[in-house]
Each structure stands twice: as C-alpha cells, then as structure tokens.
C-alpha cells in the first residue's frame, strides 16, 4: 500500500476531568522526525508518546500537539510555590532600589509562571485515557496517509496511462517516420555525390 507523507488527524476527548485534543500532522521527510508539544503538567508523557509514534510511523516530519483543559471540578485547589514567590519579590525589590520606579504588584507575582498551580486529580488515570486517545489518533493519521496514498496512486496511474497512450501513438507512426528519415538522408547523400 502506498502511503502519503503528508497527513493530518485530530481527535477530541471529553471526560468528566475536562477536554483534550490530539493533533498529528506530517510533511515529507526522509527519516522520522517528531516534534511534540504538551502542557507542562503532562511533560512526563513525552518519551512514551515519542516511542508510540516511532513504533507505528517510519518516515516524515511529524508534529504531535496536545491541547488539554481540566474542568473546574477536576481542580481541587491551588498550590503556591512560596520559594519562587519570595525570589521574585526579592528581585523586584532589588530592581526598585536601583531604579526607584514602580511598586511591586502582588498580582503580577502570582501570575508569574510556576508561582501558582492547580492541585489536580491523579494524572495517571488521565494519562492512560490520553494515551489511548493518542493511539486512536495515530490510527486515524495512518488511515489518512493511506487514503492520500491511494489518491496519489490513482493520479500516477492516470499519468502513466497518458504516457503509454502517447508512446502507442508514436510507435504507430514509427514506420512512416523511419521511411521519411531514410528518404531525407538518401536525398542528402545523393546531393553530396
């Protein structure tokens, strides 16, 4: 079966814990090259995802994206990284002492990446469901490659049929062409003598 190198597949998952959407896309590449984008709390899945892609795909530049949103009832509270917040306040005070500008805005400290994080339900069960959805997305992705490959095969066969028809026409005219060429060369030879 001919498979195209370019393909796209998307699968959404809606569960009580929230929603997720896997997207796979690829373009032509001699070897398998994977780019994986995951939310920070699911970064630990990257080696597993890379291995699953490697097991089922052999070529192409493949982008794998996961969009992940926890529902509000899946989040049970907030955690604050106090050490990071203290470091940010100390850095802001140092800048204030040397530049004499601006006040420290507590909300800006809380918005800084890594200061606040949601306590989430057990990510192991969510991860299992996400990986199962990834497997389904890979299957849909391979199916899309096969459909595109079948379309390419049909197109190539049509072009080959056209070339074959042109060759048939030329072959049918070959005796006349050879006779004309022989007469032309004989005429030149006669003129030269």
Read off the CATH number of the domain in which 14 is found: 3.30.230
- Tokens in use for 151? 């379309």
Task: Report pTM.
Answer: 0.64
The pLDDT value given to residue 82: 82
Residue 108 pLDDT > 90, yes or no? no
| One-character DSSP codes across 77-113 | EEEE-HHHHHHHHHHHHHHHHHH------HHHHHHST
Is position 39 within any domain? Answer: yes
Q: Residue 57 is encoded by which pair of tokens?
A: 């795909």
Determine, yes or no, domain membership for 86: no
Show the domain range for 21: 7-75+130-155
CA distance 166 to 159: 11
Number of structural domains found in the chain: 1
With respect to residue 32, please indicate whether it lies within any of the assigned structural domains.
yes
Alpha carbon of residue 130 to chain centroid:
17
In this predicted model, what pLDDT tens digit does every residue of 51-104 receive, in sequence order? 999 999 999 999 999 999 887 665 555 677 788 778 878 877 777 777 766 677
% of the chain residues with pLDDT over 70: 88
Q: Are 104 and 89 in contact (CB under 8 A)?
A: yes
> Does the residue 95 lie in any domain?
no
């Amino acid at each position: 079966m001919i498979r195209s190198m370019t393909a796209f597949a998307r699968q959404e998952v809606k569960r009580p814990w929230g929603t997720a959407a896997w997207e796979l896309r690829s373009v032509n590449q001699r070897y398998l090259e994977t780019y994986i984008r995951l939310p920070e709390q699911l970064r630990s899945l990257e080696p597993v995802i890379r291995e699953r892609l490697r097991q089922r795909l052999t070529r192409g530049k493949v982008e794998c994206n996961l969009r992940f949103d926890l529902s509000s009832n899946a989040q049970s509270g907030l955690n604050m990284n106090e050490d990071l917040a203290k470091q940010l306040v100390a850095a802001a005070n140092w800048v204030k002492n040397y530049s004499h500008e601006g006040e420290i805005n507590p909300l800006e400290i809380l918005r800084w990446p890594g200061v606040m994080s949601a306590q989430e339900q057990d990510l192991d069960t969510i991860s299992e469901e996400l990986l199962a959805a990834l497997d389904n997305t890979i299957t849909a992705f391979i199916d899309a490659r096969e459909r595109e490959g079948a379309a390419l095969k049909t197109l190539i066969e049509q072009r080959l049929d056209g070339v074959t028809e042109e060759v048939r026409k030329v072959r049918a005219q070959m005796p006349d062409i050879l006779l004309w060429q022989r007469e032309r060369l004989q005429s030149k030879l006669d003129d030269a003598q």
